Amino acid sequence: MIQITDNCKGCGICLPNCPQKAISIQNKRATISIECSECGICTRVCPTHAAVKIANTGKEGVVCAFCPVQCTIKPGFTGACKRFTNVDGTLMRNRKLVFENQLEHYESDYAKPLITASGAGSTYPCCRPAPHIVSALRDGVDMVTVVTEAPLSYSGVTVKIDTNAYLGETGDAVYRDGKKVGILSTEEYGSKMLSIGGAGLLTSKDGFIVARTIVELANGEEVSLKLQQKTTLVIQNNHAPIVDGIPQKKMRVGCGSATVGLFAETMKQAADDVIVIDHHIIGLLSEHLAGAEVGLSWSGIVVNG
């Protein structure tokens, strides 16, 4: 179980880091509710070491052995990862197997159900067999499919940010609550890209903040970040990004060459030749293939830059 000692100052750092939202501040002291699964994250983030994990007896629930955290899951509740619920003393998986016929559109001997699954099994301990193993004989060849779950410590997410705003230079660190959770990756066709997580960051001393960032982004929650401790960024799936407090409404959809390709016919009607200035590829209408398609020949203009 988790105990809060007299060292607690009521700073509240533990609140946003608790995956179960099981902590509140009452009378300037942290209080733990029944939702606590004893994952121990609060013991790692507390600056005064006021949260202490006592030996797990399993008397209050079932000790989950599907990852090294080993949550104690009380009846009717889930563990920190939300994968399992304690149903009358038995841990029941919350995500069912998914079976799909991936080859149904092909007419061949291989057009048989190809079994895949999401969230089918565990990764710990290594001695435990995979929870779902499928074998078949195809053209005299033994086919074996083993379905398991990728451990979060090896995972990461790439976040596509649609904005024209300057976020920083490639490789700049991305921070959350002052902790590094990723980097600004290479720009892809106009969109800024964030790389969040990865084994190095997830296994660092601040790995729980990295993991929380990945999970909340994947679940469509709003996440506030800072790039190189300067540019502020608020992102949420299917919502316009907010850069330095300004909601983004426009972004470039392609380079100068792509713009010429899209609007060559309109450009021809507006001018004898058109130069589209762009920091990736500058477009010149008369020398572009799209210019030739609308009846133009090279004007002789040479763009320097």
In angstroms, the CA 124 to CA 119 distance is: 14
pLDDT of residue 43: 92
pLDDT at 68 over 60: yes
Residue 152 has pLDDT above 80, yes or no: no
Nearest to 187 by CA among 175, 209, 171: 171
CATH number of the domain located at residue range(s) 2-93 in this protein:
3.30.70.20
Residue 87 predicted with pLDDT over 50: yes
The reported pLDDT for the residue numbered 131 is 61
pLDDT the model gives residue 287: 94
CA dihedral 11, 15, 18, 19 (to 10 degrees): -160
* pLDDT at 114 (0 to 100): 54
Domain with CATH 3.30.70.20 in the chain: 2-93
pTM of the full predicted structure? Answer: 0.66
Q: Are 13 and 45 contacting, i.e. CB atoms less than 8 angstroms apart? A: yes
Look at residue 119 in the predicted model and tell me its pLDDT.
Answer: 45
pLDDT per position as a tens digit, 52-67: 988 766 567 999 987 7
> How far is 44 from 266, CA to CA, in rounded Å?
61
Question: What's residue 227's pLDDT?
Answer: 94
Average pLDDT over the chain, rounded to an integer: 84
| CATH 2.40.30 domain extents, the chain | 152-247
- Looking at residue 287, what DSSP letter applies? G
Q: Which amino acid is at 94?
A: N
Q: Is 264 exposed, middle or buried (0-12, 13-18, 19+ CB in 10 A)?
A: buried
**pLDDT per position as a tens digit, 205-223:** 888 889 889 988 988 999 9
Q: Per mean pLDDT, which range of 74-83, 118-127, 229-238 is the poorest?
A: 118-127
Instruction: Give the E-state strand segments of the chain in sequence order.
Output: 2-4, 23-26, 29-32, 51-53, 62-63, 72-73, 84-87, 90-93, 132-138, 141-147, 156-161, 173-176, 179-184, 192-197, 223-227, 231-235, 242-243, 246-247, 275-276, 283-284
CATH 2.40.30, domain 152-247, yes or no: yes
Provide the token pair at 101: 């016929």
Beta strand 90-93 with 132-138 is unpaired
Predicted pLDDT of residue 206: 85
pLDDT tens profile 2-23: 999 999 999 999 998 898 999 9
